[in-house]
Amino acid sequence: MTTRRNKSPSPLTLSRADLKVTGDGDNVSLVDKIFIAVLRQIQSRDVASGSRMPSVRELSDSCNISRDTASKAYDKLVAHGHLESRPGSGFYVKLNGKAPRSVVPVATALSAKNKLLRSTWRHRILQSNKPYLSQTGSGLLPDAWLGEAELSATMRALARANQRSLMGYGDAQGYLPLRQQLQLTLRELNIEAGPANIVLTNGATDALHLLVMAYLRTPGEFVLVEDPGPFLLAERLSASGLDFARVPREHDGPNIDVLRAMCERHRPTMFFCSSVLQNPTSTLMSAHKAFQILRLADEFNFTIVEDDTYSDLMPTALGQVTRMATMDQLKRVIYVGSFSKTLAAGLRVGYIAASTERVEWILAHKIASNIAGASLSERVVYRLLSQGGYRHHCAQLRNRLDELRLPLVEQLRGHGFEIAHVPVGGMYVCASLPGDVDAAQLAERMLEQGHLMAPGMLFSSEKTWKSILRFNVGNSFNSPALSVLNKLLGRKK
């Protein structure tokens, strides 16, 4: 009978000195330090595939850490597909004969300090109902713009109606009349999707969460996102333990050369991106880039998740804009929409449009985690859409944003900001602070004086975004925050 004493020694050795991490190393957790140190040895080929790792006790003793910490580090390496756990035997290197895809997963490589900072600012942006003096960094339109009277009238009308339909769980796929109405909405975008191809969700964030649950549950799977991009998406992927890489977003869409290189290197499962009014840049994707992305999806067999949350804020005067779901008709594209930005964030109604086969799989996961949808909210949205008032409401929102956007740009430039791209629509304008000012540090000082801002590090890991602020058009023109900014920057204007 083989005993543990007869096992060959592990070729991997670690000491406390090996747990040094460049940049903010003291703020990186011990679990992540061990993760990175082990991964470096594996990926430098110092440790061969199939090699036995030191036991949890041996790792604990050699690095002077607790056994619980050592165990958690190994569990994380297993979850990312770098180690294999063999009950009763230990942990073994698992390369499967393939070259590793990255030295350190992007989400892991971020320092704990930056993670905490981003998490703090994310919470502030999402909890923007506090009595701030200004909210140039908010992700919501001003309350006064959102038609509270019509929303209240709609809810009163529903309250007077027969509520028997609310006694049961309802349709897990969502309120059928709303899905039928969305069929007409999508048809206007030249996307053919029947009610059976639509799943209602609790907003776009829930839609993305559902897609992660349904399709990204295998350890080691890799996904791509845009950089800069929505901070909630990056948070969701990180929370799921997924490896992801960022594709630079340019004024007309993702950098195709970088996208191809990442596809060749990582063989991604999904690419999360936006064609229309991307957050935070409010840029549009060009037709030729959309076409190239679809070709890459075919070549490398990945799915495109097209987030069209800001679709209804797109100026109609520009005519039909490029959407990959229109070009692809939901073969390789999963389309995500939402009403949270245009109606009310608290309603939490969004939707997924996808092929029949994908909808069946998505529904199976939705039922497992959420037995029924937000039936009352779905009825409110249906009534607003079907009565025709929503179309007029969105037109008013677009007009208000269009009236303020260019004046805001000129105002920001007058205060010394640089604006590389002036959006043609949408809620946001991104502006660079004069000089090499750290936007996050400045935003902290602004917050102390009652002004909520959105620093660029929320949306991008690139150094160029360190000095960028995202301004909400509806909340920023003639904002008192601008004069406070000038004082903090030492400017007289």
- Predicted confidence band of residue 157 (pLDDT cuts 50, 70, 90): confident
pLDDT band at 95 (very low <50, low <70, confident <90, very high): low
- In sequence order, what are the beta bridge partners of 469? 431, 455
The yes-or-no verdict on residue 200 having pLDDT over 90 is yes
Give the pLDDT confidence score for residue 270 in this predicted structure.
96
Give the confidence band of 41 by pLDDT, cuts at 50, 70, 90.
confident
pLDDT at 34: 84
| Nearest partner of 81 among 271, 301, 213, 243, judged by Cα | 243
What number is the average pLDDT over the span 229-235? 89
- Residue 167 pLDDT > 70: no
Residues composing the chain? 493
Q: At what angle do helices 30-43 and 67-79 cross, to 10 degrees?
A: 50
What's the whole-number mean pLDDT along residues 134-152? Answer: 89
Averaged pLDDT for residues 16-30: 61
| pLDDT of amino acid 108 | 42
**Residue 144 — φ and ψ, nearest 5°?**
-65, -15
pLDDT given at position 169: 63
- For residue 234, the model assigns a pLDDT of 85
pLDDT at 197 over 70: yes
Greater model confidence, 459 or 155: 459
Residue 137 reports pLDDT greater than 50:
yes
Tell the CATH topology of 4-109: Arc Repressor Mutant, subunit A (1.10.10)
The answer to which of 104-108, 262-266, 343-347 has the lowest mean pLDDT is 104-108
Q: How confident is the model at residue 145 (pLDDT cuts 50, 70, 90)?
A: very high
Q: Class of 112-144+394-488 per CATH?
A: alpha beta
Task: Supply the CATH classification number for the domain 169-387.
Answer: 3.40.640.10
Question: 193: buried, middle or exposed (CB in 10 Å: 19+, 13-18, 0-12)?
Answer: buried
Q: Where are the domains of the chain?
A: 4-109, 112-144+394-488, 169-387
Residue 64 identity: N
Tens digit of pLDDT for each residue in 65-82?
888 888 888 887 877 677
The residue written with tokens 């333990």 in the block is 241
Comparing 237-241, 257-261, 460-464, the range with the smallest average pLDDT is 237-241
Quick: pLDDT tens for 452-461: 999 999 999 8
Query: According to the per-residue pLDDT averaged within each range, which of 8-17, 220-229, 470-479 is highest?
Result: 470-479
pLDDT at 113: 59
* CA 383 from centre of chain: 30
Read off the pLDDT of residues 111-134 as tens digits, 9 standing for 90 and up: 555 666 777 887 888 876 678 999
pLDDT band at 171 (very low <50, low <70, confident <90, very high): confident
Report pLDDT for 111: 53
Q: What is the pLDDT of residues 333-345, one digit of tens each?
A: 999 999 999 998 8
Q: What average pLDDT does range 259-281 have in this prediction? A: 95
Q: How confident is the model at residue 426 (pLDDT cuts 50, 70, 90)?
A: very high
Query: Is pLDDT at 473 greater than 90 in this prediction?
Result: yes
Q: How confident is the model at residue 404 (pLDDT cuts 50, 70, 90)?
A: very high
**Reported confidence tier of residue 165, pLDDT bands at 50, 70, 90:** low
